Amino acid sequence: MNQRLDSKREFSIIKRARSFVHAGKGIVLFLKTTHNAWIHILVTVSVLFLGWYFSISVIEWIVIIFAIGFVFVAETFNTAIEIDIDLTSPEYHPYARDTKDVAAGAVLIASIIAIIVGCLVFIPYVF
């Protein structure tokens, strides 16, 4: 068998640690390059404050945390897709535009779902 493939299959603490370092670099890059991430962070801090203020239940916390995570994951994938499209299609192409629009649409869908979740959790506490 190919020695390179065999070496990739071997477990290594060092390789796992490097993968965490690379993932951390990806998060930093995401935060540096994605302006909407800062909006998401501001909303996240506000929602976490409201959860603390209203003493929401554990189940409500779980739902809120998943909704927040859903939006950040969608935005992160959107950023990765945009970086890849910019690399593979530096000139304007309608498919590149459509790909970026669909990825941005996924973020919008995730955000709308998170807003609905937030309303379902917090409206009973406000009224």
Q: Which domains does the chain possess?
A: 35-126 (1.10.287.3610)
pTM recorded for the entire structure: 0.84
**Token pair for 99:** 């790909």
Q: What is the residue whose two structure tokens read 């071997």?
A: 10
% of the chain residues with pLDDT over 90:
76
**Token pair for 113:** 């779902």
Spell out the alpha helix ranges (H) of 1-127: 3-9, 13-33, 35-54, 58-88, 94-126
Least confident of 5-9, 24-28, 106-110: 5-9
Mean pLDDT (the chain) is 92
Least confident of 1-15, 47-61, 77-91, 110-124: 1-15
The active-site residue, picked from 60, 75, 82, 91, is 75
Residue 10 a catalytic site member: no
